[in-house]
Structure 1
């Protein structure tokens, strides 16, 4: 037997095994000996069948099976010896060359990842809730909880608009979103100037927009080029005038300023946590460079296309790298999630859920595992704090959190 291991690419391997007829015949004879003791054939007692009868009935199958078993045995030994972590289904090609049998096996392996997660520099954003931000939030609540009336005036900030969105492909209109309500609130301003495009339009008017001009639409309708937005209805709020009226409307008994401040602080903490996670992910990807298997990239691209999701190869590559990194950290630091931990989440938040329990269990397990990994990295990180306004914090969330 002769074995040759070739490196076709950084992660692509090719093993060439050359077997002599004698080696194959020996393996076949072993198989025959085993079968003579164990096989049962009509007309013969177990263990009393003759070799001639066995070969006559099953000769070709025995030859093929013994060859496959020999190849698999050699292949597994080589994989273990070389510590190859195979990522895809190996491709076997068997051919006869003179008196020998040549076996060519192609496969791809996982990359060797040399983890670098110590002393990662990350920024923790601390939001200071200012009086004017509390006032803005109260104003927004006054609008939302006011009396809504339809208007024919041009669109303005704070309006609730109902849109139909069509794609314009080959001069044909295809519905994408019908009767879609959009509240033009503070955070909507960050969506690449969409409000500036539509603010002078009125009910009954339509706007044709190139998808590339608005990133948020480019992500939603990635496979479209041109869309038409038809404005069906504009609702404008006759806002509540006083804080006393607002408190009555919302059934708030305590001080409304403290109530809003508490709400914004909770949101702020949640956003800070999300941004920390994004910061950790970015640094992980930056500090750990390695090749990703072509197989994983191909599988991901196919999956995205099947789901008609936007195909961004750079983002897909990042997601694959992140998944490989998190798995490597999990293995290296022996991070696991216990059944009791998952059950606690199920009992607390999903007590009444009856369907898709297995999927939910797996999702909770993955979330808890991810949280443990990020906490591990956070404890090792070189963390710096930076104070910013609540508004800027929310802007950072919109710009960054959707990426992962």
Structure 2
């Protein structure tokens, strides 16, 4: 019996010893992980399955179109070619005028004036100002702002190549703040004019001029807006707005596009400090071209005129006139013997349309009237005492600004 048990024990002991040896050599046989396996845990897919189950029953995420990476290699690395094309045609303008003033500040007091009358001692003083201009033709015509050369006794033009010459005034248009000068036409650089109607918000713009008299300077920005009006700067406003830095001395200079073509004539800035704050305005090249052509041809700008002053329609005014819309403008006054007076227009009439075109904005209406040739027969629609009336009016020629006032 003992012998039979011993024959069974040794195989069992041998099997246990063999199992211990195998488990030490191959621990994965017990389901344990090695050190390397523990460093890269297997993700738990239960959460993913749960999300998948929820999205099956709820609204799926919207499909979006992802833009391709921005390719900046298409943009110019430099605008030097545009500047080299336009800058030679941008000139510095120095204007001066003589003014007379009293020898002593007290002489401006009426109390002291009564002792001297008209024989008060006077002295002359030279006032000078600076600005910019743009050569726009081989004949030597230069566009600039009217306020740059207004009342000047002498105007000196300095070209980029160092040449200096005196300029004469061909004509001015205070209502658009433009002026045309002429300089000797001897191998002059000329700028190219763009179609300013094609200007788009976001286009690169370069302002070239003579800020603060430091010399020709180029600043860069974009076109911030077009068609700006109601600024109270000019009678006729259709400004291009840019954030290219424009400072005193830039007036009359060029606003050009990325190809060096003239987009507008820099005119004004909106600023609380007197320096550039990123809001500058330029007269569109198309308007400047029209003014140039008329001044060269006629010495002045010829505009259509109805001989009336108008004010914008407001909800209160519309209600008082019994109108259900804000279309139209209210005639505030009628110039005696003007076209409107001859057509029997009266203050308080509501001008609804001109030549079949409804009127929405007073300034836009004035600009449209200005483009009408004097002598044109215009059918107009007015509302008087709550009744619509059709009247035919003959457009006249707008008088000079001083005469209008």
Q: TM-score band (shorter)?
A: under 0.3
Query: TM-score, normalised on structure 2?
Result: 0.22
Task: Answer 1 or 2: higher relative contact order, Cα 8 Å, separation at least 6.
Answer: 1
* More strand as a share of residues: 2
The structure whose residues are more often helix, as a share, is: 1
Alignment TM-score, normalising by the size of structure 1: 0.22
